């Protein structure tokens, strides 16, 4: 009876941990584990990346993170290697930790008595990895991430935004002149979220398709980019925390609001 209860509790906690996997978009594999002196020693990092990729996870090395993971480290789980090897036996398992260094999942410890280190670690890690066999993984963004990804339209009719804008532009006469000309522009609300991807000297802004909508190039002024959008040329600037693409349509100054996630 006690054995049955223990098994039931273990399986329940295992199931809950497995369910938590769906909240994470990436698995992060260190190029060098703390247990070793060299990067990818005994090909452990490459093997672990391969095994996770084979099971359908999106796996990245810790020195090559995508932009969204750099911005939000909590999108990924970091792999750690638990090494309890002795002189004659390799004994290893895997730990998965979140952005707060809290442990989310732990595999069983697996043994190998192969004499060559690379072969013994490979055998132990592959056997430990069987702990993932019963886990069905599908990335499901958290509710707040879905809300952040949705288009957010900011209107200058909002009194708070007007106050913030006024405080910012009053810092210099140059900004006052810029605001004066912008006020005469026709403002177009943002239509969808654009994601910034680095290119030489700037970024390309893509939608969720993904389709390149804009290419923006750095200048000597912070948050001020030279921009192109198909046949249109203009600038992308940040005003009081909101991005705008400004260009001329004939003699008319147009200002299109953009929702950009860097």
Task: Enter the DSSP assignment of 43.
Answer: G
pLDDT tens per residue, range 70-85: 889 999 999 999 999 8
Task: Enter the DSSP assignment of 168.
Answer: H
- Taking the whole predicted model, whether its pTM rises above 0.85 is answered as no
Alpha-carbon torsion (158, 160, 163, 164), positive or negative? negative
pLDDT of 20 reads 65
In tens digits, the chain (262 residues) has pLDDT values of 444 444 443 444 444 344 467 888 999 999 999 989 999 999 999 999 999 998 889 999 999 899 989 889 999 999 999 999 888 899 999 999 999 888 888 999 999 999 899 999 999 999 999 988 888 888 888 765 555 554 444 444 444 444 444 444 444 444 444 444 444 566 666 668 888 998 989 999 888 878 888 999 999 998 999 999 877 899 999 988 899 999 888 888 899 999 998 8
Q: Is 130 exposed, middle or buried (0-12, 13-18, 19+ CB in 10 A)?
A: exposed
**Dist CA 115 CA 229 (whole Å):** 61
CA 71 to chain centre: 6
- Residue 50 contacts by C-beta under 8 Å, 6 or more apart in sequence? none
Q: In order of start, what are the domains of the chain with their CATH numbers?
A: 2-145 (3.40.50), 151-261 (no CATH)
pLDDT of 193 reads 87
């Amino acid at each position: 009876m006690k054995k049955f209860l223990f098994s039931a509790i273990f399986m329940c906690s295992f199931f809950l941990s497995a369910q938590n996997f769906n909240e994470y978009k990436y698995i992060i594999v260190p190029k060098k584990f703390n247990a070793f002196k060299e990067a990818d020693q005994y090909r452990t990092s490459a093997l672990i990346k391969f095994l996770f990729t084979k099971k359908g996870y999106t796996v990245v090395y810790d020195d090559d993170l995508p932009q969204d993971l750099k911005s939000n480290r909590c999108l990924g789980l970091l792999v750690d290697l638990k090494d309890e090897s002795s002189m004659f036996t390799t004994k290893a398992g895997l730990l998965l930790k979140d952005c707060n260094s809290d442990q989310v999942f732990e595999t069983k410890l697996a043994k190998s008595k192969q004499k060559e280190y690379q072969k013994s670690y490979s055998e132990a890690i592959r056997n430990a990895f069987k702990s993932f066999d019963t886990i069905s993984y599908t990335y499901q963004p958290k509710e707040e991430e879905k809300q952040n990804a949705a288009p957010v339209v900011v209107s200058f009719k909002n009194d708070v935004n007007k106050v913030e804008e006024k405080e910012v532009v009053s810092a210099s006469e140059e900004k006052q002149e810029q605001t004066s000309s912008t006020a005469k522009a026709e403002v177009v609300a943002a239509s969808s979220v654009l994601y910034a991807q680095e290119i030489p000297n700037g970024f390309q802004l893509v939608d969720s398709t993904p389709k390149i909508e804009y290419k923006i190039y750095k200048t000597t002024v912070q948050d001020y980019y030279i921009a192109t959008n198909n046949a249109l040329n203009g600038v992308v600037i940040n005003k009081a925390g909101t991005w705008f693409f400004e260009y001329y349509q004939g003699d008319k100054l147009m200002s299109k609001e953009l929702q950009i996630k860097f």
